[in-house]
C-alpha cells in the first residue's frame, strides 16, 4: 500500500527565488518511448520537447505549516511536455517527470516517499552577480549541469536554430505547465497534480550551457539537442494541490 503515499496526499506551497527553464527540441520518436501509459506527446511541427527546470526554492512546506518550518533547497527537474485526456474528455497539458536532483537529503527522502519524481542527491552551487545567474550541478556524471544565464540582457531573442518562429509560440513551451502527471503502475492510473501560481511572467534570457551530461546518455546521445527557448522567472509564490488519481482503461477503480 506504499504507492498510496506517492499520490501527493496534501497541498504544498513554496517560493521560487529563481526559476530558469531550458527547453530542448527532439524528434517525436526520441521522447514518445519515455512517456507513461495514458500520456501523449505535446508537439509543435513534429517535434517534442524536454524541459530542464533549475529552481532555487524557499520555504517548501505543506499548506498550513508555518513558513519558518519550510525547506530551502535547489532543484533540477527533467520533464517532457505531454498531454492527458481525462475520462470526462478534457485534454490537459502537463509535464512527465523523468528525474529530479536536489541538494538536500531530506528532500530526496520526502520526495521519493510522496511522489514519483525520482529524486537524486546532488551538489549544487548557485552564484548571482553582475547581472548573471550561474548554476553548477554535480551528480557524478549522470546529470551534471553548468549553465550561465544573462539576467541583465532580458528580454533576449530566441536561441539560434530554435524551431519557434516567435516568443509567443515559444512561451507555450516555457513550463512549468498547470499539471504534472505521475503513473501509478499498481493501479494502472494517472495521478495528476495541479500547480497554482501567481505573477507568472517568464522572460526570455540568453544562456550558455557549458555542461549537460543528461543529454549525453541514451536515448538522447545520438541526437543533436536543439535549445528551443530559455526563460527566467524570479520571486514567484507557488502551490501544488493534492493529487487526483484517475484509472486508465483496464485499470482498477480508485
105: domain CATH number is: 2.40.400.10
pLDDT computed for residue 93 by the predictor: 95
At residue 254 the predicted structure's pLDDT band, cuts being 50, 70 and 90, is very low
In angstroms, the CA 1 to CA 186 distance is 9
User: Is the residue at 253 inside a domain?
Assistant: no
At residue 176 the predicted structure's pLDDT band, cuts being 50, 70 and 90, is low
Of 75 and 254, the one with more pLDDT: 75
All three cell numbers of 90, joined, read 478534457
Beta-ladder partners of 27 = 47
What is the mean pLDDT of the segment spanning 160-171? 94
Question: Does residue 253 surpass a pLDDT of 70?
Answer: no
Q: What is the mean pLDDT of the chain?
A: 94
pLDDT computed for residue 251 by the predictor: 57
Question: Does residue 199 surpass a pLDDT of 80?
Answer: no
User: Is the residue at 153 inside a domain?
Assistant: yes
Question: Does residue 196 surpass a pLDDT of 70?
Answer: yes
All three cell numbers of 141, joined, read 556524471
What is the mean pLDDT of the segment spanning 84-100? 95
What is the mean pLDDT of the segment spanning 192-219? 93
What is the mean pLDDT of the segment spanning 77-96? 95
All three cell numbers of 233, joined, read 522567472
**Nearest Cα to 21, choosing from 203, 186, 183?**
203
Question: Does residue 246 surpass a pLDDT of 50?
Answer: yes
User: Is the residue at 37 inside a domain?
Assistant: yes
> What would you measure as the largest C-alpha separation in the chain, in angstroms?
56
Contact indicator for 182, 191 with CB cutoff of 8 Å: yes
Question: Does residue 136 surpass a pLDDT of 90?
Answer: yes
User: Is the residue at 254 inside a domain?
Assistant: no
What is the mean pLDDT of the segment spanning 151-165? 95
Round the CA-based radius of gyration of the chain to a whole number and report it: 18
In angstroms, the CA 171 to CA 218 distance is 27
User: Is the residue at 140 inside a domain?
Assistant: yes
**Nearest Cα to 197, choosing from 232, 244, 236?**
236
Q: Each residue of 20-67: pLDDT tens digit?
A: 999 999 999 999 999 999 999 999 999 999 999 999 999 999 999 998
Residue range(s) defining the domain that contains residue 222: 2-247
Which backbone phi and psi does 171 adopt, to 5 degrees?
-65, -25
User: Is the residue at 252 inside a domain?
Assistant: no
pLDDT computed for residue 156 by the predictor: 96
Domain total in the chain: 1
Amino acid at each position: 500500500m506504499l504507492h498510496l503515499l506517492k499520490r501527493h496526499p496534501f497541498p504544498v506551497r513554496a517560493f521560487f527565488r529563481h526559476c530558469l527553464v531550458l527547453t530542448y527540441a527532439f524528434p517525436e520518436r526520441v521522447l514518445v518511448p519515455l512517456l507513461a501509459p495514458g500520456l501523449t506527446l505535446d508537439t509543435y511541427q513534429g517535434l517534442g520537447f524536454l524541459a530542464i527546470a533549475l529552481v532555487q526554492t524557499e520555504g517548501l512546506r505543506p499548506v498550513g505549516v508555518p513558513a519558518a518550518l519550510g525547506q530551502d533547497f535547489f532543484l533540477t527537474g527533467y520533464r517532457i511536455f505531454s498531454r492527458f485526456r481525462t475520462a470526462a474528455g478534457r485534454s490537459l497539458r502537463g509535464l512527465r517527470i523523468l528525474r529530479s536532483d536536489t541538494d538536500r537529503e531530506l528532500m530526496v527522502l520526502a520526495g521519493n516517499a510522496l511522489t514519483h519524481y525520482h529524486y537524486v542527491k546532488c551538489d549544487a552551487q548557485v552564484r548571482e552577480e553582475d547581472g548573471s545567474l550561474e548554476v553548477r550541478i554535480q551528480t557524478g556524471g549522470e546529470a551534471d549541469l553548468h549553465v550561465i544565464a544573462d539576467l541583465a540582457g532580458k528580454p533576449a531573442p530566441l536561441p539560434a536554430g530554435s524551431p519557434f518562429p516567435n516568443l509567443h509560440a515559444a512561451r507555450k513551451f516555457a513550463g512549468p505547465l498547470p499539471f504534472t502527471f505521475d503513473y501509478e503502475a499498481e493501479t494502472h492510473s494517472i495521478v495528476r497534480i495541479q500547480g497554482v501560481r501567481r505573477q507568472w511572467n517568464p522572460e526570455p534570457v540568453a544562456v550558455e550551457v557549458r555542461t549537460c551530461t543528461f543529454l549525453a546518455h541514451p536515448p538522447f546521445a545520438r541526437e543533436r539537442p536543439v535549445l528551443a527557448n530559455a526563460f527566467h522567472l524570479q520571486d514567484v509564490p507557488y502551490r501544488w494541490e493534492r493529487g487526483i488519481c484517475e484509472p486508465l482503461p483496464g485499470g482498477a477503480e480508485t
